[in-house]
Structure 1
Amino acid sequence: MDQRLDLTIVAPEGYKAMLGVHAYVQNSGISLGLLELVKMRVSQLNGCAFCIAMHVPLARKHGVTEDQLHLLAAWREAPIYSPKERAALDWAEALTHLCKGDVADDVYDEMRRHFTQKEVADLSFAVAEINAWNRLMICTRTPPQLGGSAA
């Protein structure tokens, strides 16, 4: 599959705006390991090979274990994720699957048990950001860079 277009060339200002959101999320104070888990899970749900290939080495760099990476697709059944990680992953899935309707109160309530309102907002920006990147990489058919070179 050939790449359709390069956003950095055809829409550099749009790409720059996305990098601004990325910078905000990365500097929000949320654990970078947790952010990588969220980005990986959303990318799995959306089927974005480019983003999965990019975030695996970043996840490792920020302390996500091999077991967490391997079991992420089945995180609900895997006992290795903390309650805080589970709340964030559930939130990420709920925001990614908005076509199912509103985000359930119990999902939000669990987030609030583990995160401040600001952290909930910042995690929401993180989910919105990775969903946008997934859609951009998929529609442009940007191929994954394998071997960790995308990081």
Structure 2
Amino acid sequence: MEARFDFSKVAGDGYKAMLGVHGYVQHSGLDLGLLELVKIRASQMNGCAFCLAMHIPLGRQHGVTEDQLNLLVAWREAPVFSDRERAALAWTESLTRLEGGDVPDAVYEQACAQFSTREIADLSFAVAEINAWNRLMVCSRTPPQLAPAQH
């Protein structure tokens, strides 16, 4: 796959604005491993190879286990996720899909049981950020940057 264009070159100010959101999310105080789980799950849902190739190694760096990476697509059935991670993943899927134009009350209540209101807001920024990056990388057909052994 060949890239259509590079956002950083053709829309530099917009790209910088996205990096600003990224900086906010990374410094929000939420666990970086949890944030990587969220980013990987949304990227799986959106079919963004670029973001998956980026966030899976970052997940490993921030303590996401191989079992978690391997079972993330089936997180509801996998015993390797904490209640907090499950709440974050449910929140991620609900915000990514927005089925019926809403996030179900049960998903919000699950999030409230594990996160403060501020943390839910920051988690929402994380989900919004990765969904935006997914869409930007998919529409521009930005190819994943693979490790040399994967070529």
Shorter-chain TM range is over 0.9
Query: Partners in 2 of 1:87 and 1:59 — Cα distance?
Result: 18
AA aligned opposite 2:63: G
Query: Partners in 2 of 1:125 and 1:92 — Cα distance?
Result: 10
1:83 is matched with: 83
2:73 is matched with: 73
1:127 is matched with: 127
Query: Partners in 1 of 2:138 and 2:144 — Cα distance?
Result: 10
Quote the offset at 1:2 in angstroms: 1.0
Query: Partners in 1 of 2:8 and 2:28 — Cα distance?
Result: 25
Structure 1 residues without counterparts, runs of 5 or longer: none
1:100 is matched with: 100
1:31 is matched with: 31
Query: Partners in 2 of 1:99 and 1:79 — Cα distance?
Result: 26
AA aligned opposite 2:110: E
Query: Partners in 2 of 1:145 and 1:74 — Cα distance?
Result: 25
C-alpha distance after superposition, 1:16-48 (max 9, x if no partner)? 000000000000000000000000000000000
Overall identity of the aligned pairs, in %: 68
Query: Partners in 1 of 2:133 and 2:99 — Cα distance?
Result: 18
TM-score of the superposition, structure 2-length normalised?
0.96
AA aligned opposite 2:13: E
Query: Partners in 1 of 2:99 and 2:13 — Cα distance?
Result: 29
Quote the offset at 1:147 in angstroms: 1.5
Query: Partners in 1 of 2:130 and 2:106 — Cα distance?
Result: 23
Query: Partners in 2 of 1:51 and 1:93 — Cα distance?
Result: 16
Query: Partners in 2 of 1:9 and 1:101 — Cα distance?
Result: 34
TM-score of the superposition, structure 1-length normalised?
0.96
C-alpha distance after superposition, 1:114-133 (max 9, x if no partner)? 00000000000000000000
C-alpha distance after superposition, 1:54-89 (max 9, x if no partner)? 001100000000000000000010011000000000
Structure 2 residues without counterparts, runs of 5 or longer: none
Query: Partners in 2 of 1:24 and 1:113 — Cα distance?
Result: 24
Quote the offset at 1:53 in angstroms: 0.3
Q: CA RMSD in A?
A: 0.9
1:136 is matched with: 136
Query: Partners in 2 of 1:133 and 1:60 — Cα distance?
Result: 20
Q: Which runs of 4+ in 1 moved over 3 A?
A: none
Query: Partners in 2 of 1:91 and 1:66 — Cα distance?
Result: 22
